[in-house]
Amino acid sequence: MLRFNRPALSLMLAALSSPAAFGQPPRFVPPTVTAGVKTGPITLDGKLDEPAWKTAPVITLTQQNPHPGEPTPFKTTVRILRGRHHLYFGIVCQDPHPDKIEVHTLQRDGDQSSDDNVMIVLDSFDQHKLAYAFQVNAGGAMADGLISPGYYNGNSNTPTVDYSWNGYWRTAVGHTSTGWTAEIAIDTQSLQFTDRHASWGLNVSRYVPRKQLTLAWSGINLNATATNLQWEGTLNGIQHLSQGSGLEFDPYLVTEYSDTKHDTASWTGFDLKYNFTPELAGRFTYHTDFSEAQANSQQINGSPYPQTIPETRAFFLDGANIFTFSHNLGQNFIPFYSRNIGLINGETVPLNEGVKLLGHTDGWTLGLLDTQMAGTPYSDATNLFAGRAVYNVNNQWRVGTLFTHGDPLGQSSNTLASFDTTWSTSSFNSDKNLNVSAWGARSYGNLPSGTPNGYGFDLEYPNDLWYADINYNYFGDALNPALGFIQRPGTKQTYMDATYQPRPDAGSIFSWVRQFFFNANWYYVSGLDGGMQSNDWSFTPIQFTTQTGWTAQYRVQPSYEVLATPYQILPSVTYPAGAYYFTTNHVAFSTPASDPLVYSMSGEFGGLYDGHYHDLVPQLSWATPGGHFNASIALGTIWLYTPGGNGILRFGQMNLGYSFTPDLTLSTLTQYNNISHNVSENAILQWNILSDRILYLVWSHGLTLNPNLLQGGQQTVSGNTLVFKIIWGFY
The set of residues, in sequence order, having a beta carbon less than 8 Å from that of 233 and lying 6+ positions away, is 30, 31, 32, 33, 201, 202, 203, 217, 218
Contact 489, 477 (CB under 8 A): yes
SS3 content of the chain, % helix, strand, coil (to 5): 5, 55, 40
> Average pLDDT, whole number, for the chain?
88
**pLDDT score, position 283:** 87
- CA 118 → CA 6, 68, 123, 130, 325, distances in Å? 35, 18, 17, 19, 29
Q: Residue 16: pLDDT above 50?
A: no
**pLDDT score, position 136:** 97
Query: Phi, psi (5° rounding) for residue 340?
Result: -75, -10
The DSSP element (H or E) to which 12 belongs, if any, is helix 12-17
Q: Residue 392: pLDDT above 50?
A: yes
Q: Residue 670: pLDDT above 80?
A: yes
**pLDDT score, position 572:** 86
Strand 76-82 versus strand 36-37 pairing type = parallel
Distance CA 370, CA 205 (A): 37
The DSSP element (H or E) to which 15 belongs, if any, is helix 12-17
Mean pLDDT for the stretch of residues 65-85: 95
Amino acid at 645: G
Q: Residue 201: pLDDT above 80?
A: yes
Burial of 730 (0-12, 13-18, 19+ CB in 10 A): exposed
Closest to 576 in 3D by CA, of 591, 560, 563, 590: 563
Q: Residue 362: pLDDT above 80?
A: no
Q: What percentage of residues in the chain have a pLDDT greater than 90?
A: 62
* Better pLDDT: 649 or 263: 649
Distance CA 464, CA 501 (A): 7
320 part of a folded domain:
no
Q: Where does the pLDDT of residue 705 fall: very low under 50, low under 70, confident under 90, or very high at 90 and above? A: low
Strand 611-623 versus strand 716-728 pairing type = unpaired
Identify the weakest region by mean pLDDT among 72-86, 325-339, 544-558, 709-723: 709-723
Phi/psi region, residue 640 (left: phi>0; alpha: psi -120 to 50; beta: rest), is beta
Burial of 551 (0-12, 13-18, 19+ CB in 10 A): middle
Mean pLDDT for the stretch of residues 281-289: 85
Identify the weakest region by mean pLDDT among 440-454, 548-562, 668-682: 668-682
Q: Where does the pLDDT of residue 717 fall: very low under 50, low under 70, confident under 90, or very high at 90 and above? A: low
**pLDDT score, position 483:** 95
- Domain count for the chain: 1
201 part of a folded domain:
yes
Rounded to the nearest 10°, the torsion over CA 337, 339, 341, 344 is: -130
Q: Where does the pLDDT of residue 63 fall: very low under 50, low under 70, confident under 90, or very high at 90 and above? A: very high
> Can you spell out the DSSP letters for 449-490?
SS--EEEEEEEEEE-SSEEEEEEEEEE-TT---TTSEESS-S
How many CA atoms within 13 Å lie on the side-chain side of 416?
31
Amino acid at 575: Y
475 part of a folded domain:
no
Identify the weakest region by mean pLDDT among 5-14, 28-37, 368-377: 5-14
421 part of a folded domain:
no
For 643, which DSSP code? T
Q: Which domain holds residue 56?
A: 31-236
42 part of a folded domain:
yes
Mean pLDDT for the stretch of residues 294-315: 78
Q: Residue 130: pLDDT above 90?
A: no
Q: Coil, strand, or helix at residue 19? A: helix
**pLDDT score, position 23:** 47
Question: pTM value?
Answer: 0.88
Contact 200, 165 (CB under 8 A): no
CATH number at residue 84: 2.60.40.1190
For residue 610, how many other CB atoms are within 10 A of its CB?
15
Q: What are the contacts of 578-582 at 24+ separation with CB within 8 A?
A: 578/610, 580/609, 580/610, 581/607, 582/558, 582/606, 582/607, 582/608, 582/609, 582/612
44 part of a folded domain:
yes
Q: Residue 5: pLDDT above 50?
A: no
Q: Residue 17: pLDDT above 50?
A: no
**pLDDT score, position 157:** 54
Q: pLDDT digit string (tens) for 186-198?
A: 998 888 887 767 8
210 part of a folded domain:
yes
Q: pLDDT digit string (tens) for 80-113?
A: 999 988 999 999 999 999 999 999 999 999 999 9
343 strand-pairing partners: 348
Q: Residue 723: pLDDT above 70?
A: yes
**pLDDT score, position 356:** 92
571 part of a folded domain:
no
Q: pLDDT digit string (tens) for 483-530?
A: 999 999 999 999 999 999 999 998 899 999 999 999 999 999 999 999
Identify the weakest region by mean pLDDT among 424-433, 449-458, 526-535, 620-629: 424-433
Distance CA 226, CA 198 (A): 21
Q: Coil, strand, or helix at residue 652? A: strand
Q: Where does the pLDDT of residue 478 fall: very low under 50, low under 70, confident under 90, or very high at 90 and above? A: very high
